[in-house]
């Protein structure tokens, strides 16, 4: 019966190292994907369509006539919701983020206000988006198509980077150890051959 190869502690450590690197890479990728989001408002001369995407899937798509688009304005977000910063404590106010929202009327003449992101977009992006949409509302332009997307997560990105680094380090260490084993084997063989030749020379001399 053929014996199974022995698993040395070094091999076990190597396998764990590789599996952990793969786990971090896959976990980071899935984390980034689940936290990805994008939004878009596209309007022509008669109608507007608002599309919201989360985790690669469309979660909302709303269409309405151009005349029902009421306004676009700068907003502050706290945990993804529009808030009035003056109603928050100083500590919570520091964690709010800048974004923008659009306001429109539905078919029942109900007013809706929708933030175009659940995370902050900085200061310049919301301002430029609001200016462009307001030009459309004021009929200075007759088409508008603005969008923004975010495909990364802080935790996911860190996991991806560390996972890839672990795999690269594992590959480098594996190559070095393979080279060292090869050199040692070659050296042993050459040493054995030299000893054999010396033994033959001694026999001839005798």
Strand partners, 49: 42, 63
Residue 69 in this model has a pLDDT that exceeds 50 = yes
Stated pTM of the model: 0.63
- The dihedral built from the CA positions of residue 84, 85, 90 and 95, taken in this order, carries a sign that is positive
Residue 181, pLDDT score = 53
pLDDT band at 3 (very low <50, low <70, confident <90, very high): low
Q: Where are the domains of the chain?
A: 39-150
Residue 64, pLDDT score = 95
Q: How many CB atoms lie within 10 A of CB 36?
A: 17
Residues 6+ apart with CB under 8 A from 98: 74, 75, 76, 77, 120, 121, 122, 123, 126
What is the tens place of the pLDDT at every residue in 86-143? 888 888 888 898 999 999 999 888 999 999 988 888 889 999 999 999 999 999 999 9
CB-based contact 118:36 (threshold 8 Å):
no
Residue 94, pLDDT score = 85
- The dihedral built from the CA positions of residue 59, 65, 68 and 69, taken in this order, carries a sign that is positive
Residue 180 in this model has a pLDDT that exceeds 60 = no
CB-based contact 144:136 (threshold 8 Å):
yes
Who has greater pLDDT, 149 or 196? 149
């Amino acid at each position: 019966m053929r014996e199974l190869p022995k698993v040395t502690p070094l091999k076990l450590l190597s396998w764990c190292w590789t599996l952990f690197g793969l786990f971090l890479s896959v976990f980071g990728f899935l984390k980034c994907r689940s936290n990805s989001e994008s939004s878009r408002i596209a309007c022509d001369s008669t109608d507007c369509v608002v599309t919201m995407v989360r985790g690669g899937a469309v979660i909302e798509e709303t269409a309405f006539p151009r005349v029902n688009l009421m306004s676009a304005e700068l907003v502050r977000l706290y945990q993804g919701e529009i808030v009035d910063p003056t109603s928050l404590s100083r500590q919570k106010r520091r964690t709010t983020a800048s974004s923008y929202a659009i306001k429109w009327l539905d078919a029942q003449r109900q007013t809706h206000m929708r933030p175009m992101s659940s995370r902050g977009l900085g200061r310049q992006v919301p301002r430029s988006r609001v200016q462009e949409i307001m030009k459309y509302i004021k009929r200075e332009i007759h088409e508008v198509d603005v969008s923004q997307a975010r495909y990364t997560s802080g935790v996911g990105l860190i996991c991806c980077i560390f996972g890839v680094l672990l795999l690269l380090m594992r590959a480098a260490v594996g190559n070095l150890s393979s080279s060292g084993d090869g050199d040692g084997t070659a050296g042993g063989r050459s040493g054995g051959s030299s000893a054999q030749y010396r033994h033959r020379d001694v026999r001839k001399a005798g």
